[in-house]
Structure 1
């Protein structure tokens, strides 16, 4: 069990390193067993992959991706205290492949022109942000890319997104989505 305010990186070059987590309402680090499952699905080695974590929070998914060899990881976080902790951890780890953006995730994805292999999407629960976000993601997603979605309810699949993998841990539902709506 990680220490209060800490999360352990579970794989890659920083395996077993603890990352600090900001003590901020709504910051929910993705549990170890969920991360382990997700990275079994994605593959242990993310060499050459471009990832983005739109609601970085604890940074667990972004730091884990960088630890596993991702070419680049963009971490978007709007909360100042949370952002400062992420910046400190990036410096501590010497994570040059991580780019931190202090901005609203919805605004960022609207303006961003990048394309990604993995998009991590763990928005604050009870804010119903998925209907605003999912339609904006296809242009940002490489054709073979996936969206990791963590939510308080199972994702209600539509015709354009398919649920490739899914799981549940306690009150958290997690799934990997693939976009099938390309013309």
Structure 2
């Protein structure tokens, strides 16, 4: 590890559950719209993804605190791209990545839907996290853009977290629901994408 990195991380509102940074605490933005995925939900998700996370390329579509992408990096994902609209939130995420010396990460300050509307300019992603602000109609638009604009690898895994009243998602025919659970007011899914015939 590069000894010039600042490794002193103050106690915060999220901590990394497992991997190389297990137990590390990180501050989260003081913003009402930032809703880090609950620890229990995160632990369940990464238990599901355990066989696939190492050496994967991940996309965190609505990064916020970065809890999902940071957990993926801690568990040895090859790359995580974080998309975040708000400058202050993106800046804090960059600071947290710097503290962890996470060189295999990129934060892009952008509108996620606009970004995904572009022709992809990188290799396709193996794992994608979709956890947008609730009740803004963003989930299915994001799903459609990911599929239509070629961001997903043939056997990609897609995690979706949504408000419980939005439990009937419309997904492409080549996405197969692998897991679904409800935790309080949140419903979360894991989908496997198969190549279109």
TM-score by length of 1: 0.92
Partners of 2:20 and 2:33 in 1: CA distance: 29
Q: Note if contact 2:144-2:172 (Cα within 8 Å) is conserved in structure 1.
A: no
Which residue matches 2:135? 126
- Rg larger in structure: 2
Alignment of 1:98-177 (within 5 A): 98-111=105-118, 112-114=120-122, 115-138=124-147, 139-152=150-163, 153-158=166-171, 160=173, 161-177=175-191
1:76, distance to aligned residue in structure 2 (A)? 0.5
User: What SS class does the counterpart of residue 82 from structure 2 fall into?
Assistant: strand
Residues 47-102 of structure 1: per-residue CA shift (max 9 Å, x gap): 21000101000100010000000000000001111111101101110000110100
Of stretches 6-15 and 44-53 in structure 1, the one that deviates more from structure 2 is 44-53
Gaps of 5+ in 2: 1-9
- The aligned length equals 181
Residues 15-55 of structure 1: per-residue CA shift (max 9 Å, x gap): 00011100112100001110110011001672210001010
Gaps of 5+ in 1: none
Deviating beyond 4 angstroms after TM superposition, the runs of 4 or more aligned structure 1 residues are none
Q: Note if contact 1:45-1:68 (Cα within 8 Å) is conserved in structure 2.
A: no
Partners of 1:26 and 1:38 in 2: CA distance: 22
Residues 116-152 of structure 1: per-residue CA shift (max 9 Å, x gap): 0101000111111123211111211111111100000
